[in-house]
Protein backbone atom coordinates (compact mmCIF):
# COMPACT_ATOMS: atom_id res chain seq x y z
CA UNK A 1 0.00 0.00 0.00
CA UNK A 2 1.09 3.55 -0.76
CA UNK A 3 2.73 5.00 2.36
CA UNK A 4 1.18 8.33 3.43
CA UNK A 5 3.22 10.60 5.69
CA UNK A 6 2.66 14.10 7.04
CA UNK A 7 5.40 16.74 6.75
CA UNK A 8 5.81 20.50 7.29
CA UNK A 9 4.40 22.89 4.70
CA UNK A 10 7.56 23.65 2.77
CA UNK A 11 8.35 23.47 -0.91
CA UNK A 12 10.06 20.13 -1.61
CA UNK A 13 13.47 20.26 -3.27
CA UNK A 14 12.79 17.28 -5.53
CA UNK A 15 10.11 14.96 -6.83
CA UNK A 16 6.57 15.80 -7.91
CA UNK A 17 4.16 18.19 -6.24
CA UNK A 18 0.37 17.82 -6.33
CA UNK A 19 -1.28 21.24 -6.30
CA UNK A 20 -4.99 21.15 -5.42
CA UNK A 21 -6.76 24.17 -6.96
CA UNK A 22 -10.37 25.30 -6.63
CA UNK A 23 -12.07 27.21 -9.42
CA UNK A 24 -10.74 30.74 -9.62
CA UNK A 25 -8.05 29.97 -7.05
CA UNK A 26 -5.01 29.40 -9.23
CA UNK A 27 -3.25 32.59 -8.12
CA UNK A 28 -3.60 31.61 -4.47
CA UNK A 29 -2.54 28.02 -5.12
CA UNK A 30 0.69 28.84 -7.01
CA UNK A 31 1.67 31.20 -4.19
CA UNK A 32 1.77 28.27 -1.77
CA UNK A 33 5.18 28.07 -0.10
CA UNK A 34 6.55 30.41 -2.78
CA UNK A 35 6.02 27.82 -5.53
CA UNK A 36 5.54 30.23 -8.41
CA UNK A 37 8.34 32.52 -7.29
CA UNK A 38 10.74 29.58 -6.90
CA UNK A 39 10.00 28.41 -10.43
CA UNK A 40 10.27 31.85 -11.98
CA UNK A 41 6.57 32.00 -12.75
CA UNK A 42 6.70 28.78 -14.75
CA UNK A 43 3.78 27.18 -12.92
CA UNK A 44 1.34 30.07 -13.36
CA UNK A 45 2.32 30.47 -17.02
CA UNK A 46 1.87 26.76 -17.73
CA UNK A 47 -1.55 26.68 -16.05
CA UNK A 48 -2.65 29.67 -18.09
CA UNK A 49 -1.49 28.10 -21.36
CA UNK A 50 -3.21 24.83 -20.44
CA UNK A 51 -6.41 26.77 -19.71
CA UNK A 52 -6.56 25.11 -16.34
CA UNK A 53 -9.52 26.53 -14.40
CA UNK A 54 -9.66 24.23 -11.37
CA UNK A 55 -12.86 22.54 -12.45
CA UNK A 56 -13.77 19.33 -10.65
CA UNK A 57 -11.80 16.44 -12.12
CA UNK A 58 -9.60 18.67 -14.30
CA UNK A 59 -5.84 18.06 -14.19
CA UNK A 60 -2.78 19.69 -15.72
CA UNK A 61 0.75 18.29 -15.59
CA UNK A 62 3.74 20.63 -15.75
CA UNK A 63 7.04 18.88 -16.44
CA UNK A 64 10.35 20.12 -14.97
CA UNK A 65 9.02 23.51 -13.83
CA UNK A 66 12.21 24.33 -11.92
CA UNK A 67 13.27 24.51 -8.26
CA UNK A 68 14.32 20.85 -8.47
CA UNK A 69 10.76 19.59 -9.02
CA UNK A 70 10.24 16.91 -11.64
CA UNK A 71 6.65 17.92 -12.21
CA UNK A 72 3.67 19.76 -10.76
CA UNK A 73 0.27 18.13 -11.10
CA UNK A 74 -2.54 20.63 -10.65
CA UNK A 75 -5.85 18.97 -9.82
CA UNK A 76 -9.19 20.76 -9.81
CA UNK A 77 -11.37 20.79 -6.71
CA UNK A 78 -14.41 22.48 -8.24
CA UNK A 79 -16.33 25.52 -7.10
CA UNK A 80 -15.30 27.24 -3.84
CA UNK A 81 -17.10 25.92 -0.78
CA UNK A 82 -18.51 22.87 -2.58
CA UNK A 83 -15.73 20.35 -1.96
CA UNK A 84 -17.10 17.15 -0.41
CA UNK A 85 -15.25 14.15 1.01
CA UNK A 86 -15.95 12.26 -2.22
CA UNK A 87 -14.70 15.20 -4.28
CA UNK A 88 -11.48 15.27 -2.27
CA UNK A 89 -11.01 11.53 -2.70
CA UNK A 90 -11.56 11.75 -6.45
CA UNK A 91 -9.05 14.61 -6.65
CA UNK A 92 -6.49 12.41 -4.92
CA UNK A 93 -7.25 9.58 -7.32
CA UNK A 94 -6.95 11.79 -10.39
CA UNK A 95 -3.63 13.17 -9.15
CA UNK A 96 -2.03 9.85 -8.27
CA UNK A 97 -2.75 8.53 -11.76
CA UNK A 98 -0.37 11.19 -13.10
CA UNK A 99 2.51 10.31 -10.76
CA UNK A 100 5.22 7.69 -10.97
CA UNK A 101 7.89 8.62 -8.43
CA UNK A 102 8.44 10.59 -5.21
CA UNK A 103 5.51 12.94 -4.62
CA UNK A 104 3.98 15.37 -2.14
CA UNK A 105 0.66 17.21 -1.81
CA UNK A 106 0.39 20.91 -1.01
CA UNK A 107 -2.28 21.00 1.70
CA UNK A 108 -3.04 24.70 1.44
CA UNK A 109 -5.28 26.40 4.01
CA UNK A 110 -8.73 27.05 2.61
CA UNK A 111 -10.28 24.40 0.40
CA UNK A 112 -8.42 21.47 1.97
CA UNK A 113 -9.33 21.24 5.64
CA UNK A 114 -7.43 18.57 7.59
CA UNK A 115 -10.41 16.22 7.25
CA UNK A 116 -10.59 16.70 3.49
CA UNK A 117 -6.82 16.33 3.20
CA UNK A 118 -7.24 12.91 4.78
CA UNK A 119 -9.88 12.02 2.21
CA UNK A 120 -7.64 13.22 -0.61
CA UNK A 121 -4.96 10.87 0.67
CA UNK A 122 -7.53 8.06 0.86
CA UNK A 123 -8.45 8.61 -2.77
CA UNK A 124 -4.82 8.52 -3.81
CA UNK A 125 -4.24 5.28 -1.92
CA UNK A 126 -7.35 3.61 -3.34
CA UNK A 127 -6.39 4.52 -6.89
CA UNK A 128 -2.85 3.16 -6.37
CA UNK A 129 -4.05 -0.40 -5.69
CA UNK A 130 -2.40 -3.11 -7.74
CA UNK A 131 -2.71 -6.90 -7.56
CA UNK A 132 0.55 -8.37 -8.85
CA UNK A 133 1.04 -11.42 -6.67
CA UNK A 134 1.33 -13.77 -9.63
CA UNK A 135 3.40 -11.62 -11.99
CA UNK A 136 6.85 -13.19 -12.08
CA UNK A 137 8.40 -11.82 -15.28
CA UNK A 138 7.37 -8.17 -15.12
CA UNK A 139 10.18 -5.74 -15.87
CA UNK A 140 11.20 -3.34 -13.12
CA UNK A 141 10.42 -0.29 -15.27
CA UNK A 142 6.85 -1.50 -15.72
CA UNK A 143 6.19 -1.63 -11.99
CA UNK A 144 4.86 1.42 -10.14
CA UNK A 145 7.66 3.33 -8.46
CA UNK A 146 5.63 5.65 -6.24
CA UNK A 147 5.86 4.25 -2.72
CA UNK A 148 5.32 7.33 -0.55
CA UNK A 149 3.04 10.35 -0.60
CA UNK A 150 3.77 13.27 1.74
CA UNK A 151 1.02 15.62 2.90
CA UNK A 152 2.67 19.03 3.35
CA UNK A 153 0.69 21.01 5.92
CA UNK A 154 0.84 23.64 8.64
CA UNK A 155 -1.57 21.58 10.77
CA UNK A 156 0.28 18.30 11.03
CA UNK A 157 -1.55 16.97 14.08
CA UNK A 158 -5.02 17.38 12.62
CA UNK A 159 -4.04 15.97 9.22
CA UNK A 160 -2.33 12.98 10.83
CA UNK A 161 -5.45 12.29 12.89
CA UNK A 162 -7.67 12.54 9.81
CA UNK A 163 -5.54 10.08 7.86
CA UNK A 164 -5.19 7.71 10.83
CA UNK A 165 -9.00 7.42 10.98
CA UNK A 166 -9.19 6.59 7.27
CA UNK A 167 -6.22 4.26 6.90
CA UNK A 168 -8.19 1.26 8.27
CA UNK A 169 -10.86 1.88 5.64
CA UNK A 170 -8.19 1.68 2.93
CA UNK A 171 -6.91 -1.52 4.55
CA UNK A 172 -10.41 -2.99 4.41
CA UNK A 173 -10.83 -2.04 0.75
CA UNK A 174 -7.45 -3.55 -0.14
CA UNK A 175 -8.31 -6.77 1.72
CA UNK A 176 -11.60 -7.09 -0.16
CA UNK A 177 -9.91 -6.37 -3.50
CA UNK A 178 -7.23 -8.95 -2.78
CA UNK A 179 -9.84 -11.60 -2.00
CA UNK A 180 -11.86 -10.88 -5.14
CA UNK A 181 -8.72 -10.84 -7.29
CA UNK A 182 -7.41 -14.22 -6.14
CA UNK A 183 -7.77 -17.15 -8.57
CA UNK A 184 -10.33 -19.78 -7.59
CA UNK A 185 -7.79 -22.60 -7.28
CA UNK A 186 -6.17 -20.57 -4.49
CA UNK A 187 -9.18 -19.03 -2.77
CA UNK A 188 -11.23 -22.11 -1.95
CA UNK A 189 -13.84 -21.91 0.83
CA UNK A 190 -11.32 -23.33 3.31
CA UNK A 191 -8.62 -20.84 2.33
CA UNK A 192 -11.09 -17.96 2.46
CA UNK A 193 -12.07 -19.00 5.98
CA UNK A 194 -8.40 -19.22 6.95
CA UNK A 195 -7.86 -15.63 5.83
CA UNK A 196 -10.86 -14.55 7.85
CA UNK A 197 -9.33 -16.17 10.93
CA UNK A 198 -6.28 -13.93 10.52
CA UNK A 199 -8.52 -10.95 11.35
CA UNK A 200 -8.35 -12.03 14.96
CA UNK A 201 -5.19 -9.92 15.06
CA UNK A 202 -7.41 -6.83 14.72
CA UNK A 203 -9.55 -7.82 17.69
CA UNK A 204 -12.33 -9.59 15.81
CA UNK A 205 -13.66 -12.81 17.24
CA UNK A 206 -13.87 -15.29 14.37
CA UNK A 207 -15.83 -18.56 14.30
CA UNK A 208 -15.57 -21.04 11.44
CA UNK A 209 -18.45 -23.48 10.99
CA UNK A 210 -17.74 -26.52 8.83
CA UNK A 211 -19.99 -28.85 6.83
CA UNK A 212 -20.59 -31.34 9.65
CA UNK A 213 -21.94 -28.65 11.97
CA UNK A 214 -23.97 -27.15 9.12
CA UNK A 215 -25.51 -30.55 8.48
CA UNK A 216 -26.48 -30.87 12.16
CA UNK A 217 -28.05 -27.40 12.01
CA UNK A 218 -30.07 -28.36 8.95
CA UNK A 219 -28.51 -26.14 6.28
CA UNK A 220 -30.13 -28.08 3.46
CA UNK A 221 -30.10 -25.21 0.94
CA UNK A 222 -26.47 -24.19 1.57
CA UNK A 223 -25.18 -27.78 1.52
CA UNK A 224 -27.16 -28.54 -1.61
CA UNK A 225 -25.08 -25.94 -3.46
CA UNK A 226 -21.86 -27.42 -2.05
CA UNK A 227 -22.48 -31.09 -2.77
CA UNK A 228 -21.01 -31.11 -6.30
CA UNK A 229 -17.56 -29.89 -5.23
CA UNK A 230 -14.63 -31.62 -3.56
CA UNK A 231 -13.90 -28.32 -1.79
CA UNK A 232 -16.05 -28.37 1.31
CA UNK A 233 -18.03 -25.27 2.35
CA UNK A 234 -17.53 -23.03 5.35
CA UNK A 235 -19.54 -20.38 7.15
CA UNK A 236 -17.53 -17.74 8.96
CA UNK A 237 -18.95 -15.53 11.71
CA UNK A 238 -16.95 -12.41 12.63
CA UNK A 239 -17.81 -10.43 15.76
CA UNK A 240 -16.79 -6.85 16.55
CA UNK A 241 -17.70 -5.56 20.02
CA UNK A 242 -16.86 -1.87 19.84
CA UNK A 243 -19.82 -0.63 21.89
CA UNK A 244 -19.18 -2.83 24.90
CA UNK A 245 -21.34 -5.82 23.93
CA UNK A 246 -20.42 -8.96 25.83
CA UNK A 247 -20.90 -11.69 23.27
CA UNK A 248 -23.33 -10.36 20.71
CA UNK A 249 -25.55 -13.43 21.01
CA UNK A 250 -29.32 -13.28 21.16
CA UNK A 251 -30.70 -12.89 24.64
CA UNK A 252 -27.98 -10.77 26.29
CA UNK A 253 -29.59 -7.41 25.48
CA UNK A 254 -27.18 -6.58 22.67
CA UNK A 255 -28.53 -5.98 19.18
CA UNK A 256 -25.60 -5.89 16.77
CA UNK A 257 -25.66 -4.64 13.22
CA UNK A 258 -25.46 -7.61 10.86
CA UNK A 259 -23.80 -7.86 7.47
CA UNK A 260 -24.08 -11.03 5.39
CA UNK A 261 -22.11 -11.90 2.25
CA UNK A 262 -22.55 -14.43 -0.54
CA UNK A 263 -19.20 -16.17 -0.97
CA UNK A 264 -19.36 -18.48 -3.98
CA UNK A 265 -15.63 -18.81 -4.61
CA UNK A 266 -16.29 -20.18 -8.08
CA UNK A 267 -19.59 -20.57 -9.86
CA UNK A 268 -19.86 -22.86 -12.86
CA UNK A 269 -23.63 -22.80 -12.58
CA UNK A 270 -23.59 -26.43 -11.48
CA UNK A 271 -25.67 -28.80 -13.61
CA UNK A 272 -27.34 -25.68 -15.10
CA UNK A 273 -23.87 -24.89 -16.38
CA UNK A 274 -22.91 -21.43 -17.63
CA UNK A 275 -21.54 -20.74 -21.13
CA UNK A 276 -17.78 -21.17 -21.37
CA UNK A 277 -17.16 -17.62 -22.60
CA UNK A 278 -16.45 -15.41 -19.60
CA UNK A 279 -16.80 -18.18 -17.02
CA UNK A 280 -13.38 -17.22 -15.64
CA UNK A 281 -15.04 -14.09 -14.26
CA UNK A 282 -17.00 -16.25 -11.84
CA UNK A 283 -14.06 -16.22 -9.44
CA UNK A 284 -15.55 -12.97 -8.18
CA UNK A 285 -18.93 -14.45 -7.33
CA UNK A 286 -17.70 -14.13 -3.75
CA UNK A 287 -17.46 -10.31 -3.90
CA UNK A 288 -20.33 -9.88 -1.44
CA UNK A 289 -18.44 -11.94 1.13
CA UNK A 290 -15.24 -10.05 0.29
CA UNK A 291 -16.99 -6.75 1.01
CA UNK A 292 -18.29 -8.01 4.36
CA UNK A 293 -14.81 -9.17 5.38
CA UNK A 294 -13.30 -5.85 4.28
CA UNK A 295 -15.95 -3.94 6.21
CA UNK A 296 -15.37 -5.92 9.40
CA UNK A 297 -11.63 -5.32 9.08
CA UNK A 298 -12.28 -1.58 8.64
CA UNK A 299 -14.58 -1.39 11.67
CA UNK A 300 -12.09 -3.23 13.86
CA UNK A 301 -9.12 -1.31 12.49
CA UNK A 302 -10.63 2.06 13.31
CA UNK A 303 -12.11 0.84 16.61
CA UNK A 304 -15.66 1.69 15.58
CA UNK A 305 -17.95 2.30 18.54
CA UNK A 306 -20.53 -0.24 17.47
CA UNK A 307 -21.36 -3.91 17.88
CA UNK A 308 -21.45 -5.71 14.56
CA UNK A 309 -21.48 -9.22 13.21
CA UNK A 310 -20.35 -10.22 9.74
CA UNK A 311 -21.30 -13.63 8.34
CA UNK A 312 -20.12 -15.09 5.05
CA UNK A 313 -21.30 -18.29 3.39
CA UNK A 314 -18.39 -19.80 1.46
CA UNK A 315 -19.00 -22.48 -1.15
CA UNK A 316 -18.04 -23.66 -4.62
CA UNK A 317 -20.77 -24.47 -7.17
CA UNK A 318 -19.53 -27.31 -9.38
CA UNK A 319 -21.06 -29.98 -11.64
CA UNK A 320 -20.30 -33.62 -10.81
CA UNK A 321 -21.98 -36.93 -10.18
CA UNK A 322 -22.78 -35.66 -6.70
CA UNK A 323 -24.07 -32.26 -7.79
CA UNK A 324 -27.51 -30.91 -7.03
CA UNK A 325 -29.99 -31.48 -9.87
CA UNK A 326 -32.70 -29.24 -11.30
CA UNK A 327 -35.89 -30.59 -9.74
CA UNK A 328 -34.36 -31.44 -6.36
CA UNK A 329 -36.21 -30.26 -3.27
CA UNK A 330 -34.17 -29.07 -0.29
CA UNK A 331 -35.18 -28.23 3.26
CA UNK A 332 -33.70 -25.00 4.52
CA UNK A 333 -32.55 -24.18 8.06
CA UNK A 334 -35.84 -22.32 8.53
CA UNK A 335 -37.81 -25.51 7.78
CA UNK A 336 -39.18 -24.10 4.53
CA UNK A 337 -38.72 -26.23 1.42
CA UNK A 338 -37.37 -25.12 -1.95
CA UNK A 339 -37.74 -26.71 -5.36
CA UNK A 340 -34.44 -26.09 -7.17
CA UNK A 341 -35.40 -25.22 -10.74
CA UNK A 342 -32.02 -23.82 -11.74
CA UNK A 343 -28.77 -24.75 -9.98
CA UNK A 344 -27.19 -21.50 -11.22
CA UNK A 345 -29.51 -19.58 -8.90
CA UNK A 346 -27.37 -20.80 -6.02
CA UNK A 347 -26.48 -17.60 -4.17
CA UNK A 348 -29.99 -17.13 -2.83
CA UNK A 349 -29.91 -20.71 -1.47
CA UNK A 350 -26.75 -19.92 0.46
CA UNK A 351 -28.20 -16.65 1.78
CA UNK A 352 -31.42 -18.39 2.81
CA UNK A 353 -29.69 -20.49 5.45
CA UNK A 354 -27.15 -17.85 6.51
CA UNK A 355 -29.75 -15.09 6.98
CA UNK A 356 -32.00 -17.38 9.02
CA UNK A 357 -29.02 -18.34 11.17
CA UNK A 358 -28.13 -14.66 11.61
CA UNK A 359 -31.55 -13.52 12.81
CA UNK A 360 -32.06 -16.61 14.97
CA UNK A 361 -28.73 -16.50 16.79
CA UNK A 362 -28.01 -12.76 17.00
CA UNK A 363 -31.37 -10.93 16.92
CA UNK A 364 -29.67 -8.06 15.03
CA UNK A 365 -30.89 -4.50 14.76
CA UNK A 366 -30.94 -5.01 11.02
CA UNK A 367 -29.47 -7.30 8.38
CA UNK A 368 -27.81 -6.14 5.17
CA UNK A 369 -26.78 -8.79 2.66
CA UNK A 370 -24.48 -8.28 -0.33
CA UNK A 371 -24.41 -10.64 -3.28
CA UNK A 372 -23.37 -10.76 -6.91
CA UNK A 373 -26.76 -12.29 -7.40
CA UNK A 374 -28.33 -11.68 -10.81
CA UNK A 375 -27.43 -10.81 -14.36
CA UNK A 376 -30.83 -9.15 -14.44
CA UNK A 377 -29.51 -6.39 -12.17
CA UNK A 378 -26.63 -5.74 -14.55
CA UNK A 379 -29.11 -5.40 -17.41
CA UNK A 380 -31.20 -3.02 -15.31
CA UNK A 381 -28.54 -0.67 -13.88
CA UNK A 382 -25.36 -1.53 -15.78
CA UNK A 383 -22.06 -0.97 -14.02
CA UNK A 384 -22.81 2.49 -12.64
CA UNK A 385 -25.12 1.93 -9.67
CA UNK A 386 -25.88 -1.03 -7.42
CA UNK A 387 -29.47 -2.12 -6.96
CA UNK A 388 -30.99 -2.75 -3.56
CA UNK A 389 -34.21 -3.90 -1.97
CA UNK A 390 -35.39 -3.18 1.57
CA UNK A 391 -38.33 -3.89 3.84
CA UNK A 392 -37.53 -0.88 6.06
CA UNK A 393 -37.70 2.71 4.79
CA UNK A 394 -35.35 4.21 7.38
CA UNK A 395 -32.65 1.66 6.61
CA UNK A 396 -33.20 2.22 2.88
CA UNK A 397 -32.84 5.99 3.21
CA UNK A 398 -29.67 5.65 5.27
CA UNK A 399 -28.15 3.23 2.78
CA UNK A 400 -28.93 5.54 -0.12
CA UNK A 401 -27.35 8.50 1.70
CA UNK A 402 -24.24 6.46 2.52
CA UNK A 403 -23.96 5.49 -1.13
CA UNK A 404 -24.14 9.11 -2.24
CA UNK A 405 -21.53 10.24 0.30
CA UNK A 406 -19.08 7.43 -0.49
CA UNK A 407 -19.63 7.36 -4.25
CA UNK A 408 -20.76 3.71 -4.10
CA UNK A 409 -24.24 4.60 -5.28
CA UNK A 410 -27.44 2.61 -4.83
CA UNK A 411 -30.87 2.62 -6.42
CA UNK A 412 -33.85 1.15 -4.58
CA UNK A 413 -35.86 -1.49 -6.42
CA UNK A 414 -39.43 -2.64 -5.68
CA UNK A 415 -40.77 -5.59 -3.73
CA UNK A 416 -44.37 -6.76 -3.90
CA UNK A 417 -46.87 -9.57 -3.57
CA UNK A 418 -47.31 -9.93 -7.33
CA UNK A 419 -43.59 -10.70 -7.70
CA UNK A 420 -43.71 -13.06 -4.74
CA UNK A 421 -46.34 -15.17 -6.45
CA UNK A 422 -43.90 -15.85 -9.29
CA UNK A 423 -41.79 -18.13 -7.07
CA UNK A 424 -44.70 -20.33 -6.02
CA UNK A 425 -43.85 -24.02 -6.49
CA UNK A 426 -46.24 -26.85 -7.34
CA UNK A 427 -44.51 -29.31 -4.98
CA UNK A 428 -42.64 -27.24 -2.36
CA UNK A 429 -43.02 -24.03 -0.38
CA UNK A 430 -41.27 -22.09 -3.14
CA UNK A 431 -39.00 -22.47 -6.15
CA UNK A 432 -35.64 -20.75 -6.47
CA UNK A 433 -36.36 -18.86 -9.71
CA UNK A 434 -39.39 -17.06 -11.05
CA UNK A 435 -38.53 -16.79 -14.73
CA UNK A 436 -36.66 -14.13 -16.72
CA UNK A 437 -39.04 -11.16 -16.22
CA UNK A 438 -38.11 -9.23 -13.09
CA UNK A 439 -35.36 -11.72 -12.28
CA UNK A 440 -33.55 -9.52 -9.77
CA UNK A 441 -36.85 -8.76 -8.01
CA UNK A 442 -38.00 -12.36 -7.71
CA UNK A 443 -34.56 -13.22 -6.34
CA UNK A 444 -35.02 -10.57 -3.65
CA UNK A 445 -38.52 -11.89 -2.92
CA UNK A 446 -37.02 -15.33 -2.39
CA UNK A 447 -34.42 -13.98 0.04
CA UNK A 448 -37.04 -11.97 1.94
CA UNK A 449 -38.78 -15.21 2.91
CA UNK A 450 -35.80 -15.96 5.16
CA UNK A 451 -35.62 -12.58 6.90
CA UNK A 452 -38.39 -13.39 9.40
CA UNK A 453 -39.57 -9.78 9.72
CA UNK A 454 -36.19 -8.25 10.64
CA UNK A 455 -35.30 -4.86 9.12
CA UNK A 456 -33.34 -5.95 6.06
CA UNK A 457 -31.76 -4.78 2.85
CA UNK A 458 -30.45 -6.85 -0.03
CA UNK A 459 -27.71 -5.34 -2.19
CA UNK A 460 -27.40 -6.97 -5.62
CA UNK A 461 -23.87 -5.93 -6.59
CA UNK A 462 -23.46 -8.10 -9.69
CA UNK A 463 -22.67 -5.08 -11.87
CA UNK A 464 -20.37 -3.39 -9.37
CA UNK A 465 -17.92 -6.03 -8.14
CA UNK A 466 -15.46 -5.77 -11.03
CA UNK A 467 -14.40 -2.79 -13.16
CA UNK A 468 -13.36 -3.22 -16.78
CA UNK A 469 -11.70 0.19 -16.87
CA UNK A 470 -9.96 2.60 -14.51
CA UNK A 471 -11.96 5.18 -12.56
CA UNK A 472 -10.93 7.92 -10.14
CA UNK A 473 -10.78 5.61 -7.12
CA UNK A 474 -10.55 2.16 -8.67
CA UNK A 475 -8.03 0.75 -11.13
CA UNK A 476 -9.31 -1.89 -13.52
CA UNK A 477 -10.20 -5.03 -11.57
CA UNK A 478 -11.80 -5.74 -8.20
CA UNK A 479 -13.62 -2.73 -6.75
CA UNK A 480 -14.44 -3.78 -3.15
CA UNK A 481 -17.81 -2.12 -3.74
CA UNK A 482 -19.72 -1.92 -0.48
CA UNK A 483 -16.86 -1.55 2.00
CA UNK A 484 -16.75 2.26 2.02
CA UNK A 485 -20.51 2.64 1.68
CA UNK A 486 -21.30 0.38 4.63
CA UNK A 487 -18.54 1.93 6.71
CA UNK A 488 -20.17 5.29 5.95
CA UNK A 489 -23.56 3.88 6.98
CA UNK A 490 -22.18 2.79 10.33
CA UNK A 491 -20.17 5.96 10.98
CA UNK A 492 -23.03 8.31 10.12
CA UNK A 493 -25.85 6.55 11.95
CA UNK A 494 -24.88 3.90 14.48
CA UNK A 495 -21.81 4.96 16.47
CA UNK A 496 -22.55 6.52 19.83
Beta-carbon contacts of 485 under 8 Å, excluding residues fewer than 6 positions away, are 399, 402, 403, 406, 408, 410
Rounded to whole angstroms, how far apart are CA atoms 77 and 59?
10
DSSP letter, residue 201: G
Helix (H, G, I), strand (E, B) or coil at 228: coil
Rounded to whole angstroms, how far apart are CA atoms 484 and 403?
9
147 with 122: CB under 8 angstroms? no
Catalytic-labelled residue, pool 262, 348, 431, 484: 348
Q: How many residues in total does the chain contain?
A: 496
Rounded to whole angstroms, how far apart are CA atoms 26 and 23?
7
348 is catalytic: yes
Of 467, 165, 466, 473, nearest in space to 290 by CA: 466
Q: Give 388-433 as a 3 state SS string.
A: EEECCHHHHHHHHHHHHHHCCCEEECCCCHHHHHHHCCCCCCEECC
Rounded to whole angstroms, how far apart are CA atoms 397 and 400?
5
Beta-carbon contacts of 113 under 8 Å, excluding residues fewer than 6 positions away, are none
Rounded to whole angstroms, how far apart are CA atoms 457 and 209?
24
- Tell me the Cα Rg of the chain: 24
Of 107, 86, 101, 20, nearest in space to 58 by CA: 20
Catalytic-labelled residue, pool 205, 250, 274, 412: 274
274 is catalytic: yes
Helix axes 156-181, 287-301, angle to 10 degrees: 150
Residues forming a β-bridge with 32: none
Of 121, 181, 86, 157, nearest in space to 1 by CA: 121
What are the residue numbers of the active site? 274, 348
Amino acid sequence: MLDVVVAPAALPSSGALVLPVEEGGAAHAVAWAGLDEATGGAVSRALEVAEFKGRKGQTATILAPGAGLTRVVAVGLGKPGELTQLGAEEAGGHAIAKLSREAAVAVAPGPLTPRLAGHLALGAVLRSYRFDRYRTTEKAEDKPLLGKLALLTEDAGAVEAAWAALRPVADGVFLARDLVSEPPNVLTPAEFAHRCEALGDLGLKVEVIGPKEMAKLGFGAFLGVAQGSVNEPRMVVMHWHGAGGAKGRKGNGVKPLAFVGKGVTFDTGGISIKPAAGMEDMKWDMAGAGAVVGLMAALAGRHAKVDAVGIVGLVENMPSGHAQRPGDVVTTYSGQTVEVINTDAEGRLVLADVLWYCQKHFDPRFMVDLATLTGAMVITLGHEIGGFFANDDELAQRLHAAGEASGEKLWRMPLGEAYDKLIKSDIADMKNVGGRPGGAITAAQFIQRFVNGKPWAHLDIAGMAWANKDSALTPKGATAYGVRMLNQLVADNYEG
